[in-house]
Amino acid sequence: MPQTTIYYDNKIVRNFAWATVLWGIVGMLVGVLIAVQLFMPEANLNTEYTTYGRIRPLHTNAVIFAFVGNAIFMGVYYSLQRLLKTRMWSDALSQINFWGWQLIIVAAAISLPLGYTTSKEYAELEWPIDIAITLMWVVFGLNMIMTILNRREQHMYVAIWFYIATFVTVAVLHIVNSFELPLTLFKSYSFYAGVQDALVQWWYGHNAVAFFLTTPYLGMMYYFMPKAANRPVYSYRLSIIHFWSLIFIYIWAGPHHLLYSSLPDWAQSLGVVFSIMLIAPSWGGMINGLLTLRGVWDKVRVDPVLKMMVVAVTGYGMATFEGPMHSLKSVNALSHFTDWIPAHVHVGTLAWNGMFTFAILYYIIPRIFRTELYSLRLANMHFWLSTIGLVFWVVAMYWSGITQGLMWKQFTAEGTLQYPNFLETVLQVIPMYMVRALGGTIYLIGALIMAYNLIRTAASGSLISDEPALVPQRDTNEHEAVSWHRRLEGKPALFTVLVTLAVLIGGIVEFMPAFLVKSNVPTLASVKPYTPLELHGRDVYIKEGCVGCHSQMIRPFRSETERYGEYSKAGEFVYDHPFLWGSKRTGPDLHRIGGKYQDSWHYNHMMVPESMSPGSIMPAYPWLVENIIDTSLTSDMVAAMRTLGVPYSSQTVNDASLLLNEQALQITERLKKDGISTHSHSEMVALIAYLQRLGIDIRQTTTTQIITP
């Protein structure tokens, strides 16, 4: 066959590789900082910009979209060119993809500490950044698809299927979940409310894990593991089954994040069933990965790339077994809202994503710089530090999660809560929080050692920007009769459409009934829209990231109704744009906090939490009394809510400022009686108004609606 020389673009791979290292370290550093804040609130450096609620999203976004995001691009740009025997279609698009993505990361790193957030987990970035993400994702997709169309290799290897599924699904998820109505340049409200918002958010959240943290890495596993082991994947048949069943099933499982919540029961059950089914493709993939190493396990002892991969794939297997187990309602009743969930997540991120990324970096950097790894010893040390850090982190959180979960549910023989004070259960697990921070620090030190090792490696060689490769010339004559699936692979466009269909079916079947039948969410007559001041307060709650530690979802268990009050009803959230149910209880649930304490209690608690709850690990929020709410937006805010379907009269829209002043004065008066003077337009007053309103609407009715449990 006539051959020709082409050149692979290694420069773009190098750029993404260094970005991966840099943002990985930044993201882990922020992770360690927030871990420390959980036992030492003063570690927030006494500024609002570095307080837990605001920088916890910074940590999650940095590790997911900056660290893992850049690693995906690195892995895809490296493997795609080689699997297709084709240079990336457009160097310009590659560059735009790179710099655009870094700009988005910088924008996130600035806007999140400033408090610009939508509050929806892993989708916190505000709408202008959402649009930028969409554009960059399209640039990446276009570059990839065009490269595939221009390929020299007739067959599309399974890794590329995973890349295509990643591109398509992330695009769909991002767009659907980001429907929001802008209020200002930096503030928007979710198009959906309450239960629907929760359903969309966790359909997104769950599938972001699936199609951002999993499918691209599976694609990379199918490329880099055979490369590193120098033998083909254990079973290519299994990889095909793995691919189709994973993308077909994954999309349905989102509602398992909302078990025992106010989500309709049928949707919860659907989520459970599909979550259990997910074990099959996930473990099929894991086994396929590990068995690829059959016969070369001796290499695993010496090669840090393979070592890292083995721990990564094992972590994938553990996380994907644990996930379905957490989806069982009886397990979920204990695990949800506890530290068990972050433990589960970190098996996925620290082991699967983190260590697989490290493995790829150790694989790629020496190759594109045409040299040897600077120090094998340091790489091995990194392997052990990562593994030990991971174990410290995860075991501490299993311990803490299960302990606290059991304490929340413990009753005395007399039938009262054994630990009625939430804080008592927190103080119990604080040593574990310290161990977690230690584990994170060890993991971070490992990453720093890797950075040093890779930099020294790069310095000892020189980058082959354009790596020559001898490849067969393009086939001009048509092939003999081929089967339909081979034709399908020959038509990446059609293949892409089918992948889209497979993921959309699940999404649509899940959503349709909830959207079509309005009565799926029973409305409660006594539930009224928020007042203008409460809307402002809600925005303060969102801005400070309160949802990071406090849920607003009382599950229908006696242990929860005893502790917090009446369980949460779907109808109570119909005006919540966005929903604020939360996913973690570092502090107590707040859904029935309204009217429980005096305004002055909240004031004092916000200023010095320990004055009201000795031993509390909540940070102080003294800036709430200094920051003034922007009352010029009040009327627009109410109007925006009306556009979204909240039944405000035009009079309320017009009189918004008057109504706000009236309520603010009432609160200021009440505070004055307790000897506290504060500006009536301070964020503090607005937040107190909102907190005092939470969950009180249904108290006015004597009978509450019965929802089939």
When binding is defined by CB under 8 A, the residue of 29, 40, 82, 146 that contacts another protein is 82
Bridge partners for 189 per DSSP: 181
Rounded CA separation 568/561 (Å) = 9
Bridge partners for 468 per DSSP: 7
Write out the binding residues for another protein, residues 3-32 only, by CB under 8 A. Answer: 3, 5, 8
Q: What is the helix (H) or strand (E) element at residue 513, kind and residue range? A: helix 492-516
When binding is defined by CB under 8 A, the residue of 232, 415, 614, 675 that contacts another protein is 232
When binding is defined by CB under 8 A, the residue of 1, 413, 470, 481 that contacts another protein is 470
Sequence-separated (6 or more) residues with CB below 8 Å from residue 568:
261, 262, 552, 553, 554, 555, 591, 695
Q: Dmax over Cα atoms in the chain, in whole Å?
A: 92
Beta carbons of 625 and 682 less than 8 angstroms apart: yes
When binding is defined by CB under 8 A, the residue of 2, 230, 415, 478 that contacts another protein is 230
Sequence-separated (6 or more) residues with CB below 8 Å from residue 153:
83, 84, 85, 86
When binding is defined by CB under 8 A, the residue of 266, 297, 384, 411 that contacts another protein is 266
* Nearest distance, CB of residue 678 and another protein, angstroms: 46
Nearer to another protein, 253 or 351 (CB): 253
244 binds another protein (CB under 8 A): yes
Nearer to another protein, 468 or 595 (CB): 468
370 binds another protein (CB under 8 A): yes
When binding is defined by CB under 8 A, the residue of 330, 416, 476, 519 that contacts another protein is 519
513 binds another protein (CB under 8 A): yes
When binding is defined by CB under 8 A, the residue of 330, 651, 677, 708 that contacts another protein is 708
236 binds another protein (CB under 8 A): yes
* Nearest distance, CB of residue 82 and another protein, angstroms: 4
Applying CB under 8 A, the site for another protein has a residue count of 49
Query: What is the SS3 assignment for 6?
Result: strand
Write out the binding residues for another protein, residues 163-222 only, by CB under 8 A. Answer: 222
Single out the segment in contact with another protein by CB under 8 A; choices: 1-9, 103-111, 131-139, 597-605.
1-9
Nearer to another protein, 79 or 400 (CB): 79
413 binds another protein (CB under 8 A): no
When binding is defined by CB under 8 A, the residue of 1, 2, 237, 301 that contacts another protein is 237
Nearer to another protein, 52 or 356 (CB): 356
Place of tokens 């089914």: 277
Residue 500: count of CB within 10 angstroms of its CB: 17
Rounded CA separation 420/34 (Å) = 27
Nearer to another protein, 370 or 672 (CB): 370
Read off φ and ψ for residue 357, nearest 5 degrees: -60, -45
Place of tokens 């045409």: 370
Beta carbons of 319 and 264 less than 8 angstroms apart: no
When binding is defined by CB under 8 A, the residue of 1, 413, 493, 706 that contacts another protein is 706
Nearest in space to 221 (alpha carbons), one of 315, 142, 296: 315
DSSP 705: -
* Nearest distance, CB of residue 670 and another protein, angstroms: 41
Q: What share of the chain is helix, strand, coil (3-state, %, to 5)?
A: 70, 5, 30
240 binds another protein (CB under 8 A): yes
Nearer to another protein, 22 or 464 (CB): 464
Rounded CA separation 707/374 (Å) = 64
Nearer to another protein, 130 or 489 (CB): 489
Beta carbons of 42 and 609 less than 8 angstroms apart: no
Rounded CA separation 380/307 (Å) = 9
With left for phi above 0 and alpha for psi between -120 and 50, is residue 336 left, alpha or beta? beta
Nearest in space to 186 (alpha carbons), one of 291, 95, 113, 239: 113
Single out the segment in contact with another protein by CB under 8 A; choices: 117-125, 412-420, 440-448, 467-475.
467-475
2 binds another protein (CB under 8 A): no
677 binds another protein (CB under 8 A): no
Give CA angle at 278 (77, 168), nearest 5°. 35
505 binds another protein (CB under 8 A): yes
When binding is defined by CB under 8 A, the residue of 329, 479, 485, 673 that contacts another protein is 485
Nearer to another protein, 85 or 550 (CB): 85
Rounded CA separation 604/625 (Å) = 11
264 binds another protein (CB under 8 A): yes
Question: Which residues here bind another protein, judged by CB under 8 A?
Answer: 3, 5, 8, 79, 82-83, 85, 153, 155, 157-159, 222-223, 226-227, 230-233, 235-237, 240-241, 244-245, 248, 264-266, 370, 468-471, 485-486, 505, 509, 513, 516-517, 519-520, 522, 706-708
